Amino acid sequence: MPDQERTNREGRRRGGPYGWLVAGALFALAGVIASGMAWRTHWVVRSQSPAFQPACSISETVDCAKAVRSGYAVVLRVPIALWSGIGFTALLGCALVGLKRRPAGAPASGLFFALAALAAVVSVVMFVLSRVVLGIICPECTGIQVLSLLVLVCAALQLREVRLGPVRALAADLRALRGRPRLSAGLVLAGALGVALLIAFYPQHHWTPPPLLPGLPAEVGRTPLAGPEGLPTGRTADGDPYIGAAEARLTIVELSDYECPFCAHAHRVLREFVRRHPDRLRLVHRHLPLDRACNPALGQPFHGAACAWAAAAVCAGEQGRFWEMNDVLFELQAEARQLGSIGVAERAGVPDPEAFLACLGARATAERLVAEVVRSVEWLRDARLGLATPAFELRVGAETVVGRYVGFGGDRGVPEDVVRRLYAGWPDPWTP
């Protein structure tokens, strides 16, 4: 102990062993603030329409909204940003306590270093998940991760300043805590109780689509997709998959993108119409991914995985599981990249995963998909609707085209009276 006291006195003569701890405390405070901002972004993004883009969503690859909507953004029902704020608060508290001189004369820096090292490891793991699994960079997350690394650097330099190794410093801090058992037990119990209450009672918030149109039930379009559910399915003469009536009074051709949130909502709405009138309505699916990987009409990156998921639907269809895969991709838009090809195939119940993977890598699949996309793009150009999804074509029977639209409502969308007729099963002839 005398050697340690001498070391600390020498450190104070050089300017004091507190400088790096102060710097670490300041970076931890910045981390608390950054985590609060990230938590606010999490709350706003998850409470808004899937089309909402915060200021930190800059491009296809620099996008915090995608990170927030992914499954990695929540751990034990609590946003990762809130966990980050708790961690930085603990670091800040540890640093402030460490700035009070212990009887031995050295600031408590072992616990500070241990917490900083844990935070840095978590930050590195989250960065790798973001870049490798999600394929994006989250600006707010990256800022938090950088701050955690800076806190670790300060913690390491603090140990060097007081000439203590990490193990020795941590042991000294633990001995100090054991010397105050009531305080230590109180802190542990309070922290555990706070975390348990947070996990149990943190409010879960998700955006709920508004009613499709005035006069229609609010629940239209909110029923989760779960496969054909006994509805008739098949393929048209062009080879496009359909669900609903084999001999339809009205056919709806849907041009859709599996990464488009509006497409997912529109598809749920149309499936509800078909579910209500399976003997009158038929829904035909046609791929239109807004992804340069298979869409030559796209000038800049947009939906980076849309072509891959369209190919997954094609290959699942080869094994008779198109609608199951279609529904998995629409229901799990935020998690599909995390699940990967095999994961979505398992969710869709594809019976032969090896054949599924072989189909995904086949040149014939890519050529088939590109040909379908080109056909869809030409259809949009002929209709003068621009390159947008979801797009629809309505046909009386199977051949007579009576309307082409993009989305619901607005100047180019399906009109309100047409939507109501669809909801009613198209009971009356329609004169365009």
Q: What is the pLDDT of residue 30?
A: 96
**pLDDT digit string, tens, across residues 96-123:** 887 775 444 445 678 899 999 999 999 9
**pLDDT digit string, tens, across residues 270-308:** 999 999 999 999 999 999 988 888 888 876 666 778 888
What is d(CA 420, CA 427) in angstroms, rounded to the nearest whole number? Answer: 10
pLDDT band at 12 (very low <50, low <70, confident <90, very high): very low
3-state SS, one letter per residue, for 255-279:
EECCCCHHHHHHHHHHHHHHHHCCC
Angstrom distances, CA of residue 413 to CA of 298, 376, 403, 409: 22, 17, 10, 4
Quote the percentage of the chain above a pLDDT of 90.
34
**pLDDT digit string, tens, across residues 330-382:** 988 867 766 778 888 899 899 999 999 999 888 999 999 999 999 888 888 88
Average pLDDT of span 177-198? 88
Q: What is the pLDDT of residue 107?
A: 52
pLDDT band at 407 (very low <50, low <70, confident <90, very high): confident
pLDDT band at 7 (very low <50, low <70, confident <90, very high): very low
Q: Indicate the range of 74-88, 225-239, 320-334, 390-404 predicted with least confidence.
A: 390-404
| Residue 5: pLDDT over 90 | no
User: Tokens 């405070």 — which residue?
Assistant: 29
Name every residue whose Cβ is closer than 8 Å to that of residue 146 and which is 6 or more positions away in sequence: none
Name every residue whose Cβ is closer than 8 Å to that of residue 411 and which is 6 or more positions away in sequence: none
**pLDDT digit string, tens, across residues 237-267:** 888 999 999 888 899 999 999 988 888 888 9
Q: What is the pLDDT of residue 196?
A: 92
* Domains observed in the chain: 2-201 (1.20.1440.130), 233-423 (3.40.30.10)
**pLDDT digit string, tens, across residues 14-54:** 444 578 888 999 999 999 999 999 999 999 888 876 667 78
Burial class (CB in 10 A: 0-12, 13-18, 19+), 403: middle
Q: What is the pLDDT of residue 314?
A: 92
What is d(CA 16, CA 264) in angstroms, rounded to the nearest whole number? Answer: 61
Alpha helices for 70-165 (secondary structure H): 80-98, 110-128, 139-162
Q: What are phi and psi of 217, to 5 degrees?
A: -55, 145
Q: What mean pLDDT, rounded, does the chain reach?
A: 84
| Residue 209: pLDDT over 70 | no
pLDDT band at 398 (very low <50, low <70, confident <90, very high): low
Q: What is the pLDDT of residue 99?
A: 77
Q: What is the pLDDT of residue 88?
A: 95
Number of alpha helices (DSSP H) and beta strands (DSSP E) in the chain: 15, 8
Q: What is the pLDDT of residue 292?
A: 82
| Residue 82: pLDDT over 90 | yes
Higher pLDDT, 292 or 80: 80
- DSSP three-state, residue 335: coil
Question: Per DSSP, what are the bridge partners of residue 395?
Answer: 251, 401
For residue 132, the one-letter residue type is V
3-state DSSP helix/strand/coil % of the chain, to nearest 5: 55, 10, 35
| Residue 324: pLDDT over 70 | yes
Q: What is the pLDDT of residue 401?
A: 84
What is d(CA 332, CA 48) in angstroms, rounded to the nearest whole number? Answer: 17
Q: What is the pLDDT of residue 14?
A: 42
Higher pLDDT, 214 or 90: 90
